[in-house]
Structure 1
Amino acid sequence: MEKMQIAIAGISEMRWRGNGTTTTSSGNLVMHSGTNDGGRSGVGIYVSKQYKPALISWSPVSDRIIIARFRCNARHITIVQCYAPTEDASDDIKDDFYNALTSSLTRIERGDIKILMGDFNVKIGPNKQRIGNNHGPTWCWHSNNGDTLIDLCQTFQLVIGGTVFPHNEIHKYTWTSPNGHTRNQIDHICISRKWRRSMMDVRNRRSASIDSDHELIIGELLIKLQRNSNTVNWTTRRPPPINVQRLSDSNLSTRMATTLREQMTQPLNHSWEQTCSILRSTAEEMLGTRQRRRTEWISAHTWELISKRNSRKSKADHDCRARDEHKELCKMVKKSARNDKRKNF
């Protein structure tokens, strides 16, 4: 994400257990929503560290839907990331998903910019462009789920970004079959019709090696998030921990106790906040803080395999031999990374 300079990204088929947030070693935030047993579904939203202050709230709806609201200079933005059932799924599963998605879109604050994105597993043919312009892929046959998505977009006044911008066919597909011959556009980014002009482009990025049969699809928006906010929210960074291990030095612990005793005795009417502030400032001055160490658990051998895999990615689209080598390198990277993690944790 940092290499592609992505501010916010939606992730489908995340397969993480439960709901929660994770802060990476680089300071980026990942929110995820899934089931307790993991499973094959699960969704998530990645937010770069520069735009974490713009996050207002987020809500895990199910293992297929997650919502996040961001502070914007113009209006607030509400992003709905989803992972829809496939065409072969039962009607009950598809009805439950689209009912939950409709309910989630209905609860969005009035006036917010709606962005609906994710793996919809739907194909929208060139003759079915009732929303957006007629720039959809010409090789995709329209699917039944496509009608459902189009009706949903018409209800909530959304435009499908992949049908708006003219691109070469190779820049439109988002999924490739395991045999490498069938390609479809089943991942979409939709935006409120009123803010259609704020969307500058939508296309895939085949250069991103994400080890998936899906391509990374990127939408460029001419909307600035409000990164600097005077309000304090739960994303505020915690202060660094105190280096309490230095208290094992008897001389230092005695001097610190004497200093705290002198500061606490004058005056005697300290509030709880003032007491905490005195304790914190004295401890930082005399004990110092303990910096969290970033553990580099990926070995040099794994990074070498990753470089080889990325170099084969550009050739895999045109060369069958390079495609087979790329698949084999993907398996080797997973195996090597798994072994590295087991050695260090």
Structure 2
Amino acid sequence: MLVSLQKIQALLFGPLVDLSTTTYCDVRQRQLVYLARYMLVMNLLMKDCPLYLKLLVHLPLVKGDATLNMAAKSKNLFNAINLGKPTTVIKQAKSRINVGCWNVRSAKQEATQAFLVHEMEKYNIDILCISETRISGSGSIVITAPETLHQFHFFYSGIEDNSGLHGVGFIMNQRTRNALLEREPVSSRLARIRLKGNPANVSIISTYAPTRDATETTKDDFYGELQQSSSSIAARDYLIAAGDFNARVGPSDQTTRQILGKFGQGHRCENGQRLVNYALMNHLVITNTIFQHKLSHLLTWHSNDGVTKAQIDFILVRQRWRSSVQDSRSYNGADTGSQSEPDYRLVAAKILLRLAIRRKNKSKVGFDIVRDIAMETHWVKNCFLVLLVPKKL
């Protein structure tokens, strides 16, 4: 059936009807409305879209227009088109990064650093938040993987004296290093980086919380710094906090089911309550408590004698990005290369997230030099000097 342009314009600019309740629209009219509205949505994606079509985006849509609703949803246009009720849609990324956290007991030795990047390649970890590095000061080290010769970048933040206490940092492969926007060594227990991402940038905090034997002042100072660092991160950033929290959170209950899963281990202790309060305040979810795994893939620490075991290392993300986390668990086969049996396990989360390459600004030609009379005279003189050089016979 041929439809005149005037008919389409009348449907586009005419009064909107509720197709779910109307009875006077026949099948052809209904299909025509669907087609016209669908064309409108598709045209809105074009840069050369006519202005009158762009203005139509603010008009309310028909409630029964299922075709348009599906088209808008597939193109993530709910934020641009008024559907009566504001809806926040998170665009799912097509690529994935693996984020890990690990208490390594010490990362001062080059052999340990080589073991860490070897395990990162083995478990396909893109960025590793490490704690208890025992490295003083702050800085960066380039680590070359012994087998593949791939380069990894180690950013560390430690205590200023030579006591060798605490220390946190990040080890990143070249892919994540290329997306690095900024890094901040907050303290010997906290460090932060920001990566260029799509659709949102990614802010990651590496943590090493005080143990249960620490003073209340030390614990308050740590969570005060952690809260201050989290509050300074843009609300639209993909926030990840990962590390050794020295906390038992236990399974979820009625008050914590938004931030905890039912696979949290142990009974909640004082440090666990502090972590829960932090997660509630910042709308974070503790990812390695929401996925069902066997017990050995939920526990993250065991005593040297192997009797006492606990889940005290966690990876947290914003609740609005919860669906982007595909899995989160511990790996008891990872090894730091230490002669003694490792008591901490690697914890890793698989996250649907796209990183963007941060392109360096190319140097531009200085046109002021071209306009400089003295430089112009010097350049012309050099050109003629070449002509004055006698040719060899």
Q: Which residue of 2 aligns with 1:35?
A: 159
Q: Which residue of 2 aligns with 1:45?
A: 170
CA contact (8 A) 1:16 1:38 kept: no
Structure-to-structure mapping, 1:299-318, within 5 angstroms: none
Structure-to-structure mapping, 1:1-345, within 5 angstroms: 1-25=120-144, 26-36=150-160, 37-126=162-251, 128=253, 129-138=256-265, 140-210=266-336, 211=338, 212-226=342-356, 228-232=357-361, 268-269=378-379
Deviation of 1:89 after TM superposition, in Å, equals: 0.6
Q: Which runs of 5+ in 1 are unaligned?
A: 234-264, 271-345
Across the aligned residues of Structure 1 and Structure 2, the Cα RMSD in angstroms comes to 2.1
CA distance 1:49–1:151, shift in 2 (3 Å)? same
CA contact (8 A) 1:131 1:160 kept: no
| C-alpha distance in structure 1 between counterparts of 2:358 and 2:233, whole Å | 22
Letter in 2 for 1:29: H
Deviation of 1:133 after TM superposition, in Å, equals: 5.0
Q: Which residue of 2 aligns with 1:254?
A: none
> Which structure has the bigger radius of gyration?
2
Q: Which runs of 5+ in 2 are unaligned?
A: 1-119, 145-149, 363-374, 381-393
| C-alpha distance in structure 2 between counterparts of 1:133 and 1:53, whole Å | 33
Letter in 1 for 2:268: H
CA contact (8 A) 1:136 1:163 kept: yes
Name the structure with the higher helix share: 1
Letter in 1 for 2:201: H
TM-score of the superposed pair, with normalisation by structure 2:
0.57
| C-alpha distance in structure 2 between counterparts of 1:124 and 1:5, whole Å | 28
Letter in 2 for 1:176: H
CA distance 1:150–1:106, shift in 2 (3 Å)? same
CA contact (8 A) 1:117 1:189 kept: yes
Q: Number of residues paired by the alignment?
A: 237
Letter in 1 for 2:351: L
After superposition, the C-alpha distances for 1:6-37 in whole angstroms (9 at most, x for unaligned) are 11010000111110111123421110000131
| C-alpha distance in structure 2 between counterparts of 1:219 and 1:267, whole Å | 64
CA contact (8 A) 2:261 2:290 kept: yes
Q: Which residue of 2 aligns with 1:310?
A: none
CA distance 1:5–1:269, shift in 2 (3 Å)? farther
CA contact (8 A) 2:298 2:330 kept: yes
| C-alpha distance in structure 2 between counterparts of 1:126 and 1:115, whole Å | 21
Deviation of 1:127 after TM superposition, in Å, equals: 5.1
After superposition, the C-alpha distances for 1:82-128 in whole angstroms (9 at most, x for unaligned) are 10001111001001101111100011123101101100000011255
CA distance 1:15–1:134, shift in 2 (3 Å)? same
| C-alpha distance in structure 1 between counterparts of 2:359 and 2:269, whole Å | 48
Deviation of 1:147 after TM superposition, in Å, equals: 1.0
CA distance 1:132–1:164, shift in 2 (3 Å)? farther
Letter in 1 for 2:311: Q
Q: Which residue of 2 aligns with 1:335?
A: none
Q: Which runs of 4+ in 1 moved over 6 A?
A: none
| C-alpha distance in structure 1 between counterparts of 2:377 and 2:175, whole Å | 42
After superposition, the C-alpha distances for 1:294-333 in whole angstroms (9 at most, x for unaligned) are xxxxxxxxxxxxxxxxxxxxxxxxxxxxxxxxxxxxxxxx
CA contact (8 A) 2:167 2:189 kept: yes
CA distance 1:230–1:174, shift in 2 (3 Å)? same
Greater RCO structure (CA 8 Å; 6+ sep): 2
Deviation of 1:230 after TM superposition, in Å, equals: 2.5
Secondary structure of 1:24's aligned partner = strand
TM-score of the superposed pair, with normalisation by structure 1:
0.65
